[in-house]
Amino acid sequence: MQTVFEQQQLTPVQPQLQPDKNFGAKMQNEIYGTEIKKLLQDLPDEAGDFIPEALTQHFFNDFYNRETLPVRDRERYELLALITLNVNFQIKAHARGSLKAGNSESELIWSVIQLLPYVGFPFVINSVQIIHQVAQELITK
Protein backbone atom coordinates (compact mmCIF):
# COMPACT_ATOMS: atom_id res chain seq x y z
CA MET A 1 0.00 0.00 0.00
CA GLN A 2 2.82 2.37 0.83
CA THR A 3 4.28 1.84 -2.67
CA VAL A 4 0.98 2.60 -4.37
CA PHE A 5 0.51 5.72 -2.27
CA GLU A 6 3.99 6.91 -3.19
CA GLN A 7 3.46 6.14 -6.89
CA GLN A 8 0.13 7.98 -6.91
CA GLN A 9 1.56 10.78 -4.78
CA LEU A 10 -1.18 10.28 -2.19
CA THR A 11 -0.87 11.38 1.39
CA PRO A 12 -3.21 9.73 3.88
CA VAL A 13 -5.04 12.23 6.02
CA GLN A 14 -5.98 11.53 9.61
CA PRO A 15 -9.71 11.95 10.11
CA GLN A 16 -10.73 14.96 12.13
CA LEU A 17 -12.33 14.05 15.43
CA GLN A 18 -15.22 15.75 17.14
CA PRO A 19 -13.95 17.86 20.05
CA ASP A 20 -16.61 16.28 22.29
CA LYS A 21 -15.46 12.73 23.11
CA ASN A 22 -19.09 11.75 23.83
CA PHE A 23 -20.46 13.08 20.54
CA GLY A 24 -21.24 9.54 19.34
CA ALA A 25 -23.09 8.60 22.52
CA LYS A 26 -25.09 11.83 22.30
CA MET A 27 -26.00 11.08 18.68
CA GLN A 28 -26.97 7.53 19.63
CA ASN A 29 -29.25 8.84 22.37
CA GLU A 30 -30.76 11.51 20.11
CA ILE A 31 -31.44 9.09 17.24
CA TYR A 32 -32.16 5.79 19.02
CA GLY A 33 -32.81 6.67 22.65
CA THR A 34 -32.56 3.67 24.98
CA GLU A 35 -34.15 1.21 22.55
CA ILE A 36 -31.25 -1.28 22.56
CA LYS A 37 -30.87 -1.15 26.36
CA LYS A 38 -34.56 -1.89 26.83
CA LEU A 39 -34.46 -4.69 24.27
CA LEU A 40 -31.54 -6.47 25.95
CA GLN A 41 -32.15 -5.58 29.61
CA ASP A 42 -33.17 -9.07 30.77
CA LEU A 43 -30.20 -10.97 29.33
CA PRO A 44 -28.30 -13.04 31.92
CA ASP A 45 -24.88 -12.41 33.45
CA GLU A 46 -24.81 -8.67 32.71
CA ALA A 47 -24.84 -9.30 28.94
CA GLY A 48 -27.76 -6.86 28.76
CA ASP A 49 -25.45 -4.14 30.04
CA PHE A 50 -22.34 -5.21 28.15
CA ILE A 51 -23.78 -5.29 24.61
CA PRO A 52 -25.31 -1.78 24.63
CA GLU A 53 -22.19 -0.32 26.25
CA ALA A 54 -19.91 -2.06 23.72
CA LEU A 55 -22.12 -0.74 20.90
CA THR A 56 -21.93 2.79 22.28
CA GLN A 57 -18.17 2.73 22.83
CA HIS A 58 -17.11 0.84 19.71
CA PHE A 59 -19.55 2.10 17.15
CA PHE A 60 -20.90 5.46 18.20
CA ASN A 61 -18.03 6.90 20.27
CA ASP A 62 -15.42 5.58 17.86
CA PHE A 63 -16.84 5.93 14.35
CA TYR A 64 -19.28 8.77 14.94
CA ASN A 65 -16.56 10.91 16.49
CA ARG A 66 -14.82 10.99 13.11
CA GLU A 67 -16.02 13.93 11.08
CA THR A 68 -15.31 12.28 7.72
CA LEU A 69 -19.01 11.63 7.06
CA PRO A 70 -21.98 13.61 8.28
CA VAL A 71 -24.27 11.68 10.64
CA ARG A 72 -27.12 11.57 8.09
CA ASP A 73 -24.86 9.92 5.47
CA ARG A 74 -23.40 7.52 8.00
CA GLU A 75 -26.91 6.47 9.06
CA ARG A 76 -28.01 5.97 5.43
CA TYR A 77 -24.96 3.83 4.60
CA GLU A 78 -25.42 1.78 7.74
CA LEU A 79 -29.05 1.14 6.77
CA LEU A 80 -27.96 0.02 3.30
CA ALA A 81 -25.40 -2.37 4.79
CA LEU A 82 -28.05 -3.89 7.06
CA ILE A 83 -30.40 -4.33 4.09
CA THR A 84 -27.80 -6.50 2.39
CA LEU A 85 -27.93 -8.75 5.47
CA ASN A 86 -31.78 -8.88 5.39
CA VAL A 87 -32.25 -8.36 9.12
CA ASN A 88 -35.76 -6.90 9.33
CA PHE A 89 -35.68 -5.78 12.95
CA GLN A 90 -32.45 -3.87 12.38
CA ILE A 91 -33.71 -2.47 9.07
CA LYS A 92 -36.77 -1.02 10.80
CA ALA A 93 -34.78 0.48 13.68
CA HIS A 94 -32.14 1.96 11.38
CA ALA A 95 -34.69 3.24 8.87
CA ARG A 96 -36.20 5.20 11.77
CA GLY A 97 -32.74 6.35 12.85
CA SER A 98 -31.81 7.37 9.33
CA LEU A 99 -34.98 9.42 8.97
CA LYS A 100 -34.37 11.06 12.37
CA ALA A 101 -30.81 11.85 11.29
CA GLY A 102 -32.13 13.97 8.42
CA ASN A 103 -32.58 11.65 5.46
CA SER A 104 -35.88 11.88 3.61
CA GLU A 105 -38.05 8.88 2.81
CA SER A 106 -37.38 9.50 -0.88
CA GLU A 107 -33.59 9.57 -0.39
CA LEU A 108 -33.69 6.28 1.48
CA ILE A 109 -35.97 4.55 -1.02
CA TRP A 110 -33.89 5.62 -4.00
CA SER A 111 -30.72 4.59 -2.17
CA VAL A 112 -32.22 1.14 -1.60
CA ILE A 113 -33.20 0.89 -5.26
CA GLN A 114 -29.49 1.23 -6.08
CA LEU A 115 -28.96 -2.10 -4.27
CA LEU A 116 -31.23 -3.91 -6.73
CA PRO A 117 -28.51 -5.54 -8.86
CA TYR A 118 -26.70 -6.72 -5.73
CA VAL A 119 -29.48 -7.99 -3.47
CA GLY A 120 -32.44 -8.53 -5.80
CA PHE A 121 -36.08 -7.54 -5.86
CA PRO A 122 -37.24 -9.37 -2.69
CA PHE A 123 -34.77 -7.54 -0.39
CA VAL A 124 -35.41 -4.21 -2.11
CA ILE A 125 -39.20 -4.49 -2.01
CA ASN A 126 -39.15 -5.63 1.63
CA SER A 127 -36.82 -2.80 2.64
CA VAL A 128 -38.73 -0.12 0.73
CA GLN A 129 -41.94 -1.23 2.46
CA ILE A 130 -40.27 -1.06 5.88
CA ILE A 131 -38.87 2.42 5.18
CA HIS A 132 -42.26 3.64 3.99
CA GLN A 133 -44.01 2.16 7.05
CA VAL A 134 -41.54 3.79 9.44
CA ALA A 135 -41.78 7.14 7.64
CA GLN A 136 -45.57 7.04 7.96
CA GLU A 137 -45.29 6.17 11.67
CA LEU A 138 -43.01 9.17 12.25
CA ILE A 139 -45.42 11.47 10.44
CA THR A 140 -48.36 10.38 12.57
CA LYS A 141 -46.46 10.84 15.87
**Per-residue pLDDT reduced to its tens digit, 69-108:** 889 999 999 999 999 999 988 999 999 999 999 999 999 9
**Per-residue pLDDT reduced to its tens digit, 51-62:** 999 988 888 888
Q: Do residues 85 and 56 lie in contact, with contact meaning Cβ atoms separated by under 8 Å? A: no
- Per-chain mean pLDDT for the chain: 91
Identify which of 53, 47, 44, 139 has the alpha carbon closest to the alpha carbon of residue 96: 139
Domains and CATH numbers, the chain: 19-68 (no CATH), 69-141 (1.20.1290.10)
Q: Where does the pLDDT of residue 10 fall: very low under 50, low under 70, confident under 90, or very high at 90 and above?
A: confident
Identify which of 64, 65, 35 has the alpha carbon closest to the alpha carbon of residue 51: 35
**Per-residue pLDDT reduced to its tens digit, 14-30:** 777 777 888 888 888 98
Q: Which residue has the higher pLDDT, 67 or 129?
A: 129
pTM score above 0.75: yes
